[in-house]
Amino acid sequence: MLLRFYRRGMHQQLIRRQPLSRSAGSRRHDVVVVGARCAGAASALLLARAGHDVVLLDRATFPSDTTSTHSLVRGGVVQLARWGLLDDVLASGAPPIRSVSFHRYDADAGEPLTLPVKPRAGVDHMLAPRRYVLDEILVDAAVRAGATLLDRVTASDVVRDTGGRVRGVIARGPSGERVRIEARLVIGADGVRSKMAHRFGAATTQRYAPSGVCLYSYVAADHWTGFEFHLGERVFAGVFPTHGGEACIWLIRPRGDTRMLLGSGGRRLEAWMDALQAHLPGLAARVRAGTVTAPLRGTVGLPNHVRQAAGPGWALVGDAGYHRDPITGHGMTDAFRDAELLAEAADLALREPWAEAEALASYERQRDAAIADTFRITRELGAFPHPNRFVALQTELSRALDAEAQALAARPAPLGQVLQAAVD
């Protein structure tokens, strides 16, 4: 059952939705954001707080779920705190994660290593919220900041002027109603299979072998307290405690082992459990001691690529612009970081149109610099090197993520924060 945290008094009103009208015809805004999940809602929030007229489109309604590892590492928590949303996420029941443990199941395995999450960059915990909770908090914050939400609406095409510049989108509502939405900037935040990237003509600037298979479920038990990572031969699994006393239990295997993990017919859950038992028996025993509460979800063969981030009248953010193997569980933190980078560039471009090209080019340069270390480490981890090398890469990743969090915490006040504080 979806957790409707609003009913517990967190906010005085539900998300204000604005339905499309059959006679709407056309409308105009400063910014259209296509996709209202982590990257899109965060971009809309920051631009609306800065005083821009933003419309946020999504084919889903909220609250609604989406495929995710749920992990918010330190940098993602830093961003929530900087935007004034961390208290809302904690009040929703997302447990603060204050320890990380590592378990090995190979010839060099020793005792599990458990480390505390030390206070750094202004935070002392990590999070793994359910997406239908987190995404609604973000969307609600964007709407309260002044953005217009059009849910159950799909962007079916882009509008261009005679010079080829993107000038808006053609959108369709749940009953087929069609509206032309003109805007000075269109942001594609519609995920890894982004149709907006295709419509913009965004080039793929880096492309590597696709990821393996990642399958997860939710397990209710009273022994999930911290993040856990379990490493065996050609298998990597984890435990991310989330809402309602459950944990997201995920299992990743390389591409060559996809068929073995997927099973056949109705045996997918059994194949998943068999893989846990065969490779990670300690984790398997704890999963069996709990209660599996949901069918398996996950992904197979997702791309490892970087797309061109922006062009005349358009930009991409989140998984639409950059995607890497879920093995590092860094997607939402990437989305939060890049949403702020894009919002700052878009704000400058909207206020000083002559500076648009350089502002958006700067966004792409900053994004590419920010992803370089984690993308390299993720690709090597996704190839499943020898466990000793795998552990060394995890240590390197931890240092990179701490450095990222420190850099995010040191950034100037988020876009529009002073203005929003005055309004509130």
**3-state DSSP of 329-355:** CCHHHHHHHHHHHHHHHHHHHHHCHHH
What does the alpha-carbon distance between residue 221 and residue 246 come to, in Å, rounded to a whole number?
6
Please, what is the average pLDDT of the chain? Answer: 91
Better-scored residue on pLDDT, 410 or 257: 410
DSSP 208-222: E----EEEEEEEE-S
CA gap 66, 62 in Å, rounded = 11
pLDDT at 121 over 50: yes
What is the reported pLDDT for 6? 38
Average pLDDT score over residue span 170-196: 95
Asked if residue 325 lies in contact with residue 304, where contact means CB atoms within 8 angstroms, the answer is yes
Is residue 26 helix, strand or coil? strand
Question: Which residue type is seen at 35?
Answer: G
Counting residues of the chain whose pLDDT is more than 90, the rounded percentage is: 82
Average pLDDT of span 36-55? 98
Q: What is the pLDDT of residues 308-350, one digit of tens each?
A: 999 999 999 999 999 999 999 999 999 999 999 999 999 999 9
Residue 330, C-beta contacts closer than 8 angstroms, at least 6 positions apart: 71, 73, 324, 374, 378, 401
Secondary element (H or E) of residue 60: none
Query: Does residue 333 contact residue 371 with C-beta atoms inside 8 Å?
Result: no
Element (H, E) at 94: none
Q: Nearest 5°: CA angle at 134, between 128 and 136? A: 165
**Token duo for residue 142:** 């964007």
> Do residues 190 and 230 touch, judged by C-beta distance below 8 A?
no
Q: Backbone phi, then psi, for 226, in 5-degree steps?
A: -135, 175
Structure tokens at 272: 């998943």
End-to-end CA distance of the chain: 32
Q: Rounded distance, CA 229 to CA 101, Å?
A: 6
Distance CA 229, CA 239 (A): 7
How far apart CA 85 and CA 140 sit, in angstroms, is 11
**Count of other CB atoms within 10 angstroms of residue 256:** 10
CA dihedral over 77, 82, 87, 92, signed as positive or negative: negative
Question: Could you tell me which of 7, 9, 88, 75 has the C-alpha nearest to residue 45?
Answer: 88
Q: What is the mean pLDDT of residues 160-186?
A: 95
User: Measured between alpha carbons, how far is 68 from 59 in angstroms, rounded to an integer?
Assistant: 18
The pLDDT value given to residue 8: 36
Q: What is the pLDDT of residue 70?
A: 94
pLDDT in tens, 14-28: 455 666 654 457 899
Average pLDDT over residues 184-213: 96
For residue 12, name the pLDDT band (cuts at 50, 70, 90).
Answer: very low
Residue 367 or 234, more confident: 367
Residue type, 286: R
What is the predicted pLDDT for the residue at 162?
97
- Biggest CA–CA distance in the chain, Å, is 68
Q: State the Cα–Cα distance between residues 171 and 42, nearest whole angstrom.
A: 21
Determine the Cα–Cα distance for residues 404 and 396; give it in Å rounded to an integer: 12
The candidate with the shortest Cα–Cα distance to 339, out of 56, 130, 121, 149, is 56
Q: At what angle do helices 281-289 and 268-279 cross, to 10 degrees?
A: 130
Find the mean pLDDT for residues 392-404.
Answer: 95
Residue 218's identity, in one-letter code, is: Y
pLDDT digits (tens, 9 = 90+) for 259-291: 666 665 568 888 899 999 999 999 999 999 999
pLDDT of residue 260: 61
**CA 417 – CA 204 distance, rounded (Å):** 34
* The total number of residues written for the chain in this structure: 424
Contact 49, 420 (CB under 8 A): yes
Backbone angles phi, psi at 287, to 5 degrees: -65, -45
Tokens describing residue 235: 């298998």
Over 60: is that where the pLDDT of 152 sits? yes
